[in-house]
Amino acid sequence: MSAPVPETDRALQALQWAAACAAGRAATGTPPTASPADFERAATERTTEVRDLLDRVLLGPEPEAGLDALLACGALAAIIPAVATMVGFGDGEWRHKDLWKHTKQVVSQAPPELGVRWAALLHDIGKIRTRSLAEDGQVHFFGHAEVGARMFDKLHRRVPLFAAEPELRARVHFLIQHHLRASQYAPSWTDSAVRRFAREIGGHLEALVQLSRADITTKRPERRRHGLQLIDELCRRVRELAEQDAKQPALPSGIGNALMEAFGLPPSRLIGDIRHVLEQKIEAGELPPRAEPELYVDYVRQHRSELGF
C-alpha cells in the first residue's frame, strides 16, 4: 500500500496542475484537488512554493486557463477568496458583465510583468463590497479601488504571499488603489492637473498605464478605441510636459536672489523651502509657471506669515 500524500503536497500538486494549464499543457483526467485546509496550510508553511506556482499561473501564456484551473481545484477559494467571490458577479456594464470573466481578460491583456499581473487579478476585488443601485437602475461601485487596496492588506495578513518582497507588495497595493486614475483622464485637464497626476503616480506610471489599458475589456470597438486613445494622449502630455520642464524650470532664474533682496534674507535653507512652496503652488495651478520674479515675490509677501518668516 502506498503511503498517504501529505496535505501540503496535495495542495502543491493541484497548484502545479493549474500552472501547467496556464503554460498550455492541458491535463487529462480528473484534476487534482485538496481541501481548503490543505491549501491554507501550504500557503502558510510553504509560502515560497505556493507564490512561485501562483506566479507561474499569472505569467503563463494562457493565464485564463490557469485561473480557471485554480478555481476548479479549490485553490482560489482557499487562498484568495476575494477573487473567488467574483465568479458570477456582475459589475454593471449592460447589467450582466461577469466580473470573473472581466478579471481573467484583464490579466490576459496585461503585459507579463509580475506586479501588473497581480494587480490585474486583484484590481476589482473591492467591487463585491461596494456595489450599490441608484434610483435610475445604474450600478455603482463608489470607492471600490480604495476598499480593494484595504482588502489586499487583509489578505496579506492572513496569507503572507508577499512577505519576502515588500517592494512588490507595495507596488501591487498602489496599483489596486490607483487603477482608475489614468482612465479618469479627460482632454480638459490642465497642464497643472497632468503634472499633478504624474507627480502623484511617480515611478508607478508605466505599470499603471499598462494596467489601465488592460482594464479596457468592452466589446464595443469604438468605445475601446476611444479609451485607448485617451490613455495614449495622457501619456503624451505627461512626456511632453516633463521634457518641457526639464528644459525650462517652472521658476525663473534669479528667484532666489530676488527673494533675498526683497526680504533681507541671507542664503539659507529658508530660501529653498520658499522655492519648494512656490513650485508646489505652480504644480497645483495656483500660480503661473515661468512668470516674472516680482509675481512670486508678491505672493510670498502676501503669505509671509504662512511661510513662517
Cβ atoms within 10 Å of 38's Cβ, excluding its own? 23
Closest by CA to 193, choosing from 207, 208, 205, 181, is 181
| pLDDT score for 139 | 80
Residue 4 in this model has a pLDDT that exceeds 70: no
| pLDDT score for 2 | 44
Cα gap 109→99, rounded to integer Å: 15
Cβ neighbors of 107 (< 8 A, separation 6 or more) are: 58, 63, 64, 67, 117, 120, 121, 214
| pLDDT score for 177 | 98
| pLDDT score for 297 | 95
- Tens-digit pLDDT profile for residues 100-140: 999 999 999 999 999 999 999 999 999 999 988 888 878 88
Residue indicated by cell numbers 482588502: 151
Task: Return the amino acid letter for 174.
Answer: F
- Please state, for a pLDDT cut of 70, what percent of the chain lies above it: 95
Cα gap 194→197, rounded to integer Å: 5
- Tens-digit pLDDT profile for residues 6-52: 778 999 999 999 999 999 986 666 788 899 999 999 999 999 999 99
Cβ neighbors of 252 (< 8 A, separation 6 or more) are: 290, 291, 292, 293, 296
* Torsion sign over Cα 42, 72, 80, 105: positive
**Averaged confidence pLDDT in the chain:** 91
Cα gap 149→122, rounded to integer Å: 9
Q: Which one is predicted more confidently, 61 or 307?
A: 61
- Tens-digit pLDDT profile for residues 271-291: 999 999 999 898 888 898 889
- Tens-digit pLDDT profile for residues 51-105: 999 999 999 999 999 999 999 999 999 999 999 999 988 765 544 468 999 999 9
